[in-house]
Amino acid sequence: MKARRITPESRIAVLGAGCAGLTCAEFLRLRGAKQVTVFEASDRAGGKVWSVPYEGAPAGGRGLFEAGTVFFVPGPVWSHVLSRYGVSTEIAPMPSVRIADLSRGRIRHPLAVSGGWSVFQRLIQTGRFLRMLERYGPLMDQKPGLQAHARPDVAIPAGEWFTQAGMPFVRQVLLPIAGGAQFGPGLDQVPALYVIRLLTLLRRYPLVNQLRLAMPQLRAGHDTVWRRVAQAHGVRFREAVQRLRRLTDGTVEVETTNGGYRFDAVISTLPPGKLAAIADFSDAERVPWSRVRTLSRVVLTARVSGLPPRVFHAPRFQDDGSIPPAHPYLQYEIDPGCGWMTFHPFLDGGRTVADAEAACRDVVARLGGRLESIEHRALIPEWFPHFGEQEVRDGLYDLLESSQGAGNLWHASELFSGISVPHATEYARQLVGRMLPDTAEDLTGSPLR
């Protein structure tokens, strides 16, 4: 397939108006691209960044909850869009994360979970953990994308890796939180690469927040800025891409629910299963995509009574920290004292949303409260948390990266970048720089509104 040189005059399509697709559109424009079209299947910008207003917020509350992205993790792209599109960077602090040991009915600060370690041992291991963040963090920040970090020494399961690195206590207390944020069931078996990468994001907070495990949210809501970016770039909402064909002349034909178009280059941010179903992949290209395994997850927001204000729990049930199927891995009150909580269960093993709702009721009851009514459900049907150890060892990330630009199809999806807004957006920005290397970002221009 012919590779075209991409210039500011090229016709470029971006598939998906989540934060990655919108970052591509924004930085393509800042590098002078004049013909950028963004297609979005839904009627909403932001994708998994989704802030939902609710009635009856207490004074000083945000009056909205996050049905996707929970924590605001700062980064250069966030800073750029917030400033350029005039969205306040005011922070709403979240409560510190506590471990709710539901089989014993205890709630503890993670660093106070004893598990047989003396205070001295816990402090030593916490010090090792902070040094580990400094060892891996700077390079991981510098090189967004998973390929640069997918080495055999971090392909081994996270449980084993943390034990070998002399941090069994950190494994006990931090891995359940990482599981809630990203990985779901079978956390110990997740290659250490992904867990380390997620945890290095903690470095982006002041040390006191790292130790308190108190993370921020944006008071204005996480999707506000992405809605503005989408408006500035004229996103074509409710126009789902249905087929992609790379033609021998180097152009790409894109078929959507509204018609057919030709582009000189296409950047996809679609979930992996969706892209694999509509693209004209060769057999060789299909290899890494066929090894993607997705999970379903749901974010439930409910009114609860009988619980203290300002709770943020990562539940633990048994001594091994395992959580029964469909139970939430994280749950927190959305505004201090509002009586609404958001729950993060995974629908593993064929569990349904109804199973997850029942499990949330159970968890609230174990904590001495009552779940009154489910008010919002956000279903995430194609969650790709990670490859397995063998896939990382087999060099699937090298295969994926070597396919960048084949037939003028480029990728800025979570499959390449990893999961989190900073990873998604910083990878997308770097990709645009690779596509248009002869141009510089003009960050000084006035807001595109």
Ligand X SMILES: Cc1cc2nc3c(=O)[nH]c(=O)nc-3n(C[C@H](O)[C@H](O)[C@H](O)COP(=O)(O)OP(=O)(O)OC[C@H]3O[C@@H](n4cnc5c(N)ncnc54)[C@H](O)[C@@H]3O)c2cc1C
Binding site for ligand X (CB under 6 A): 15-21, 39-42, 47-49, 68-71, 73, 181, 240-241, 269-270, 274, 299, 344, 380, 413-414, 419-422, 424
For residue 343, give the nearest of 318, 310, 376 by alpha carbon.
376
For residue 410, the minimal CB distance to ligand X (Å) is 13
d(CA 223, CA 164): 40
What Rg value do the Cα atoms of the chain yield, rounded?
22
CB of 402 to ligand X, least distance (A): 21
Q: Considering beta carbons, is residue 274 or 393 the nearer one to ligand X?
A: 274
Neighbours of 353 (CB within 10 A): 16
Cβ-based nearer residue to ligand X, 313 or 344? 344
Q: Which residues of 90-116 are buried (b: 16+ CB within 10 A; e: fewer)?
A: eebebbbbbbbbbeeeebeebbebeee
Q: Closer CB to ligand X, residue 49 or residue 132?
A: 49
Residue closer to ligand X (CB basis): 257 or 305: 257
| Nearest approach, Cβ of residue 40 and ligand X (Å) | 5
Tokens of 258: 């509204």
Q: What's the start-to-end Cα distance of the chain, in Å?
A: 37
Minimum Å distance from CB 281 to ligand X? Answer: 15
Shortest distance (Å) from residue 144 CB to ligand X: 12
Residue closer to ligand X (CB basis): 125 or 356: 356
Which tokens in the block code for residue 184? 């779901």
Cα gap 360→102, rounded to integer Å: 12
With the C-alpha atoms ordered 123, 128, 131, 136, is the resulting torsion angle positive or negative? negative
Choice between 30 and 270, CB closer to ligand X: 270
Shortest distance, position 24 Cβ to ligand X, whole Å: 9
Question: What whole-number distance in Å separates Cα of residue 419 and Cα of residue 197?
Answer: 9
- Kindly tell me which of 125 and 187 has the beta carbon lying closer to ligand X: 187
Tell me the sheet residues that pair with 66. 51
Q: Are strands 265-268 and 328-333 parallel, antiparallel or unpaired?
A: unpaired
Structure-token pair, residue 247? 């033609």
CB atoms within 10 A of CB 80: 19
Q: How far is the CB of 439 from ligand X (least distance, A)?
A: 23
Nearer to ligand X, 26 or 101 (CB): 26
Residues 6+ apart with CB under 8 A from 79: 89
Q: How far is the CB of 446 from ligand X (least distance, A)?
A: 25
Alpha-carbon distances, residue 374 vs 68, 109, 304, 357, 368 (angstroms)? 16, 28, 9, 8, 18
Is residue 16 within 8 A of residue 47, CB to CB? The reply is: yes
Q: Which is nearer to ligand X, 10 or 269 (CB)?
A: 269
Task: Report the nearest approach of ligand X to the CB of residue 423 (Å).
Answer: 7
Euclidean distance between CA atoms 377 and 104, whole angstroms? 29
C-beta of 169 vs 416, nearer to ligand X = 416
Tokens of 66: 């996050």
The nearest distance, CB 103 to ligand X, in angstroms, is: 25
- Give the residue among 229, 226, 233, 276 at the shortest CA–CA distance from 48: 226
